[in-house]
Structure 1
Amino acid sequence: MKILLIEDQIELSDNITEFLASVGIFCDACTNCFDAQDKLLINSYDSIVLDIMLPDGTGLELIDVIKKNQSKCNILIISAKGSLGDKIEGLELGADDYLTKPFHLAELHARLKALYRRNQLGGSDVLTFNEIQVNPENLQALINQTLLDLTKKEFDLLLFFLTNKDRVLGRQAIVQHLWGDYTDDLANFDFVYQHIKNLRKKICQAGGKDYIETVYGIGYKFNTSPEK
């Protein structure tokens, strides 16, 4: 799961980011609307954790931007403003859930998992496609009930493909999803090919079909109807 946290309280932002990282969730963070819009245009996320009160505007104004650029993304509003009016406005604008500060980080994690299950996994803890089963909770992937020995990046890559079936994913989009802002330190994206090559090999060795296709000059696609 990849999260964008939009929160201007640095200490709270750091605490959330560190906690989510400890439970295996990648979290980008920013402190204002301007930086948030840049990230939303460049990266793809599974969920947005959005504060209402930001230094250069209101988080509610970002909901429309999120919906236009991240149509499959969940939105969880967090705010010290606990009035019913704020909750209703956020939900009517398209937010999926609302959490009032202060909150326990474990509850935030539980809410994010519930939203992910509902919107990305069809309400199940396990994502299934034909012979493939993926469990994001325990980071396990199976082919015909055979457990795949995947690295963390290979697992994240497989999950990214399965939640974007039949969509062409550019190499930069894949890198941004898996590495976030750290891509600025990378000389090139050639390592994406190696990760995908290893993933395809492991799936096929376990008896699975080769669903991942190269779209030359662009990137890759998980084809749900492969010819072979």
Structure 2
Amino acid sequence: MKILLIEDEPELQKSIKQYFEMEGNVVELASNYTKAQQKIALYDYDCILVDITLPGGSGLDLINEVKNQKSKAGIIIISAKNALDDKIKGLDLGADDYLPKPFHLSELNSRIKALIRRKSFDGNLEIILNEIRISPLERTVFIHDELVLLTSKEYDLLLYFIANKNRVVSKSALAEHLWGDDADRLDNFDFIYNHVKNLRKKLVEKKCEDYLHTIYGIGYNFKIQR
């Protein structure tokens, strides 16, 4: 999962980033309104965590920008500004949830996972696609009820492919999803081929249908015909 954290408190920023990266996520940071604007305009995210009070502007205006761009990102407001008017305005603008500070990171984690399930997988605790069964809470994958051992990147790739099934996904989109800002500094995307090849091999070895199709010169399509 790729998360954008828009927060200007250094200690909270650090603790959220460390916690969610240990969970296997990519976390990008924006400490002020202008930096957040730039990231929202340039990159796609699964979830955006936004404070209301920011140097240079309001998080509420950022929510409005995200919605105007037709982004599919889930939005959770995290703010010590617990006024009812701000909460209502944020939700009316299109935020999906509101968590007042201080909060436990485990609760934030649960809310993010619930939000992603609602947006991408119809709210199901398990993701089931034909012979594939995924438990996001445990980050486990089963093929025909047999456990498949995937690396963290392979798991994230599979989840991303399923969320975007029957769509052509470019190599650059995959790189950005898995590595965030660091993808801009890569000379090429050869490593994507290796991760996809390893993922495909592990799935097929468990008698999974080969859903992954290479679109030469562009990327991949996780094609489901039934």
TM-score by length of 2: 0.93
Aligned to 2:99: 99
Aligned to 1:65: 65
Partner SS state of residue 150, structure 1: coil
1:8 matched to 2:40: no
Deviates more, 1:122-131 or 1:22-31: 22-31
Task: For residue 115 of structure 1, report the CA deviation from its aligned partner.
Answer: 1.2
Gaps of 5+ in 1: none
Aligned to 1:162: 162
What is the aligned-residue identity percentage?
50
1:203 matched to 2:203: yes
CA contact (8 A) 1:212 1:222 kept: yes
Q: How many residues align?
A: 226
Aligned to 1:134: 134
Aligned to 1:75: 75
Change (3 A) 1:34 1:168: farther
Change (3 A) 1:222 1:70: farther
Question: Distance in 1 between the 2:189 and 2:70 partners?
Answer: 23
Runs of 4+ in 1 over 4 A off after TM superposition: none
Task: For residue 184 of structure 1, report the CA deviation from its aligned partner.
Answer: 3.9
CA contact (8 A) 2:74 2:119 kept: yes
Residues 134-180 of structure 1: per-residue CA shift (max 9 Å, x gap): 12221211111121121111111001101111222111110010011
Question: Distance in 2 between the 1:168 and 1:129 partners?
Answer: 18
Residues 19-63 of structure 1: per-residue CA shift (max 9 Å, x gap): 222333321111122222332233322111011111121111111
Task: For residue 68 of structure 1, report the CA deviation from its aligned partner.
Answer: 4.1
Task: For residue 95 of structure 1, report the CA deviation from its aligned partner.
Answer: 0.3
Aligned to 1:22: 22
Question: Distance in 1 between the 2:169 and 2:37 partners?
Answer: 21
Q: Which amino acid counterpart does residue 101 of structure 2 have in structure 1? A: K
Aligned to 2:49: 49
Partner SS state of residue 28, structure 2: strand
Change (3 A) 1:221 1:67: farther
Question: Distance in 1 between the 2:22 and 2:196 partners?
Answer: 26
1:90 matched to 2:90: yes
Q: Which amino acid counterpart does residue 135 of structure 2 have in structure 1? A: N
Residues 165-203 of structure 1: per-residue CA shift (max 9 Å, x gap): 122211111001001122244331111111111111221
Residues 114-134 of structure 1: per-residue CA shift (max 9 Å, x gap): 212222221112111111111
Q: Which amino acid counterpart does residue 127 of structure 2 have in structure 1? A: L
Measured on the aligned residues, the alpha-carbon RMSD in Å equals 1.7
Gaps of 5+ in 2: none
Deviates more, 1:16-25 or 1:154-163: 16-25
Question: Distance in 2 between the 1:70 and 1:29 partners?
Answer: 21
Question: Distance in 1 between the 2:167 and 2:218 partners?
Answer: 12
Question: Distance in 1 between the 2:221 and 2:38 partners?
Answer: 25
CA contact (8 A) 2:24 2:152 kept: no
Partner SS state of residue 188, structure 1: coil
Question: Distance in 2 between the 1:57 and 1:105 partners?
Answer: 25
